[in-house]
């Protein structure tokens, strides 16, 4: 169709044909992002980049390893503290024993003519000490007591026994309460005593 005919048609009121729309350029494809990366690229409310805020490592391996490390450190600290307490208790025991040894010097009443045996329970085992007749009566009456020192059993007065208890209570081997029923101390019963006429 010539331009003149086109002009004539336009002059008669015909409109020109609409131009076909130009195709829009496709939007660039966004790479898929993890939620952590997507959050990292957005600014926070205070306007600062969020590249290291609330970013959790992928998977729980790092968190689990951190938890194990914290637990291991805690257990190590507990072992060190327990060992420290153990060593401190051992030091205090050594000091108490040394003080007790100095205190008990020349205070033992063990008699050379002891011909009676007094049994007693100490440390979960049955122990014995040799006493004479008068000491046996005083021991059962609570006027005397028994102290363990370096594997030996020393007979002491009730007053000394009280001071020993204050210094190192674990050394008190036998302390008789005269007001306690006889059943509390079965070895005070006469049937456990050595008869006077027994020949060794």
Give pLDDT tens digits for 7-45: 776 676 666 666 666 666 655 665 555 554 444 455 555
Q: Flag the least confident range among 117-126, 159-168, 185-194.
A: 185-194
Predicted confidence (pLDDT) at residue 177 exceeds the cutoff of 90? no
82: which DSSP letter? H
Predicted confidence (pLDDT) at residue 49 exceeds the cutoff of 70? no
Sequence-distant (≥ 6) Cβ neighbours of residue 63 within 8 angstroms: 56, 57
Q: Compute the mean pLDDT over every residue in the chain, rounded to the nearest whole number.
A: 77
pLDDT of residue 7: 74
pLDDT of residue 111: 87
Q: Is 136 exposed, middle or buried (0-12, 13-18, 19+ CB in 10 A)?
A: buried
Between CA 129 and CA 148 the distance in angstroms is 11
CB of 177 within 8 A of CB of 184?
yes
Q: Flag the least confident range among 14-18, 78-82, 109-113, 131-135.
A: 14-18
CB of 61 within 8 A of CB of 67?
no
Q: Flag the least confident range among 12-16, 49-53, 120-124.
A: 49-53
pLDDT band at 1 (very low <50, low <70, confident <90, very high): very low
pLDDT of residue 113: 85
The reply to whether the predicted model has a pTM over 0.75 is no
- What pLDDT digit, counting tens, does each position of 137-170 carry? 999 999 999 999 988 999 999 999 999 999 999 9
Q: Is 10 exposed, middle or buried (0-12, 13-18, 19+ CB in 10 A)?
A: exposed
pLDDT of residue 136: 92
pLDDT of residue 95: 92
Higher pLDDT, 194 or 123: 123
pLDDT of residue 143: 94
CA distances from 21 to 18, 24, 27 (A): 9, 9, 17
Between CA 176 and CA 146 the distance in angstroms is 9
Give the CA radius of gyration of the chain: 49
Instruction: Say if strands 172-175 and 152-157 run parallel, antiparallel, or are unpaired.
Output: unpaired
């Amino acid at each position: 169709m010539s331009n003149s005919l086109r002009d004539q048609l336009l002059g008669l009121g015909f409109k020109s044909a609409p131009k076909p729309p130009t195709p829009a350029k496709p939007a660039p494809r966004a790479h898929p992002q993890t939620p952590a990366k997507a959050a990292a690229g957005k600014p926070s409310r205070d306007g600062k980049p969020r590249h290291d805020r609330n970013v959790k490592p992928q998977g729980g391996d790092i968190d689990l390893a951190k938890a194990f490390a914290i637990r291991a450190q805690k257990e190590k600290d507990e072992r060190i503290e327990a060992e420290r307490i153990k060593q401190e208790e051992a030091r205090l025991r050594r000091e108490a024993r040394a003080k007790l040894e100095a205190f008990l010097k020349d205070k033992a009443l063990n008699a050379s003519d002891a011909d009676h045996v007094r049994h007693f329970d100490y440390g979960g085992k049955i122990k014995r000490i040799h006493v004479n007749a008068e000491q046996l009566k005083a021991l059962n009456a609570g006027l005397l007591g028994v102290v363990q020192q370096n594997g030996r059993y020393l007979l002491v007065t009730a007053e000394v026994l009280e001071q020993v208890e204050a210094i190192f209570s674990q050394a008190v081997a036998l302390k008789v309460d005269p007001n306690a029923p006889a059943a509390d101390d079965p070895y005070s019963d006469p049937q456990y005593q050595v008869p006077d006429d027994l020949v060794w």
